[in-house]
Amino acid sequence: MAKKTNLKKITWAAWSGFISVALVVISLFTAGCSNSTNNTATTPPHGNTIAEAGSPSVDDDRSIQNTILFDDTSPGVPVLCYHFFRGPTGVFDYVRILGALFLNLPLLGDYDLWTLSQASLDRQLKHLREEGYESIGLADLTEWRLGRRALPPRSVVITFDDGDRSVLEFAAPVLERYDFSAVVFAVTGRVGEEWSEVTGMTWDELRALQDSGRFVIESHTNAMHYKVRTVDGMKPIFLALSDGEYEIPGEDWKRFVFEDLKASREAIERELGRRSDYLAWPYGTGDALVDSLAVAAGFKGICSLEAGTTRRHSTLPDGLAGSAGDTGMAIVTAGSPPGPSHPPTDTTMAWSLYELPRLTITARTSLRGFKRMLAD
């Protein structure tokens, strides 16, 4: 009888110790998250690493030949980037998150780290509403950036990458609750498919979002959301091609990238009845050459995961020639100006005319960190 009693005492002591440790870890987790801003994304979804965008050199044929000047006195407009969402978190999920974040245990996949709870999104959008923010579209942002229109004093653009069904299930109701609009960047060649832990929305679901009046569907490429092996490690296919570290037999790489982007715009126009004017590169960034191809394919703006806010252009430098559609933005070409039907052959572009930096929100982003991102 005494042995059983001792065993019970030992078991209870073990559980008590475990609960105490768990409470301490949870308190540390809460404190750590509350101080985390996480406004730079170094580990994008699907186990990939964002390439650092280095300063261009004038001697490099990929370099930006002109620098666009911005009005540093005007407040920047934040463009928020989300990926995936989930419902209420259970105890087991909390343990997995804590083990991954603090003990570096392989308990979470990339999808989990890039997945926000619906409750967290609710708190963030509630904060935006209470602080007087109004959501605007990317077209509004572009027009303001070029000095063509005014914006509400506190404007924000909300975007979702990949087109995961969790946006429809968990994010859309929260946007409706707080009367915000948003942009979904969909991989048009993977619509309705399951890939890399993403459950892609169907065209009918994307159409329903668009018809709600709260969502605009834009391009996340047609079929270039994957990486290939290079001498420098795994790289997004479009960057590996641009860097000359990967070849597609029998294919001109510029034509390959251009046709993919063109196909994505055509798919959106065919399925949703509207033109796609904005692109978000998978994995967070492109380079001057692939950005030039995107502009030639008809895009008016390119969203990146480079942290920052969008600022209004102060002045445009002399020497910018050629126009990209009706945007008033310019590109620098060494040959004939590229058009929507053919890619440029030797083009560098004024990258800062097109780049739209974004603030990336992940599972690590606490409400305090979210507020700091907006304040910086």
More confident residue, 343 or 215: 215
Residue with tokens 């063509």: 148
Q: Is residue 209 part of a domain?
A: yes
Determine the Cα–Cα distance for residues 370 and 244; give it in Å rounded to an integer.
Answer: 39
Q: Is residue 282 part of a domain?
A: yes
pLDDT at 107: 65
pLDDT at 28: 41
pLDDT at 371: 96
What is the domain range of residue 145?
Answer: 39-90+114-375
Q: How many domains does the chain have?
A: 1
Predicted confidence (pLDDT) per residue in 154-207, tens digit = 999 999 999 999 999 999 999 999 999 999 999 999 999 999 999 999 999 999
The secondary structure of residue 328, as a DSSP letter, is: -
Measure the N-to-C terminal CA separation of the chain; round to a whole number of Å. 65
Q: Is residue 256 part of a domain?
A: yes
The secondary structure of residue 170, as a DSSP letter, is: I
pLDDT at 81: 98
pLDDT at 351: 55
Compute the average pLDDT of residues 270-289: 96
> What is the domain-level CATH number for residue 348?
3.20.20.370
Q: Is residue 159 part of a domain?
A: yes
Q: Is residue 99 part of a domain?
A: no
Count the Cβ atoms, other than its own, within 10 Å of residue 345. Answer: 12
Predicted confidence (pLDDT) per residue in 110-122, tens digit = 778 899 999 999 9
Predicted confidence (pLDDT) per residue in 120-169, tens digit = 999 999 999 999 999 999 999 999 998 899 999 999 999 999 999 999 99
Determine the Cα–Cα distance for residues 158 and 218; give it in Å rounded to an integer.
Answer: 13
CA angle, 65 then 71 then 77, to 5°: 105
Q: Which band of pLDDT confidence, cut at 50, 70 and 90, is reported for residue 58? A: very low
State the pTM of this model.
0.76
Residue with tokens 């950036």: 145
Determine the Cα–Cα distance for residues 120 and 101; give it in Å rounded to an integer.
Answer: 18
pLDDT at 271: 98
Q: Is residue 207 part of a domain?
A: yes
The token duo for 37 is 């801003």
125 phi and psi angles, rounded to 5 deg: -70, -30
Q: Is residue 18 part of a domain?
A: no
Determine the Cα–Cα distance for residues 89 and 86; give it in Å rounded to an integer.
Answer: 8
**β-strand partners of 159:** 81, 183
Q: Which band of pLDDT confidence, cut at 50, 70 and 90, is reported for residue 73? A: low
**β-strand partners of 313:** 70
Q: Mean pLDDT of all residues in the chain?
A: 78
pLDDT at 9: 46
pLDDT at 111: 75
> Quick check: 296 and 259 in contact, CB under 8 A?
no
Determine the Cα–Cα distance for residues 121 and 142; give it in Å rounded to an integer.
Answer: 26
Predicted confidence (pLDDT) at residue 63 exceeds the cutoff of 70: no
Count the Cβ atoms, other than its own, within 10 Å of residue 231. Answer: 9
Q: What is the pairing mode between strands 227-230 and 233-236?
A: antiparallel
Q: Is residue 7 part of a domain?
A: no
User: In terms of Cα–Cα distance, which of 111, 138, 126, 135 is closest to 174?
Assistant: 126
Alpha helix ranges (H) inside the chain: 2-34, 91-102, 110-113, 118-130, 138-145, 165-166, 172-178, 203-211, 237-242, 253-272, 288-296, 367-375
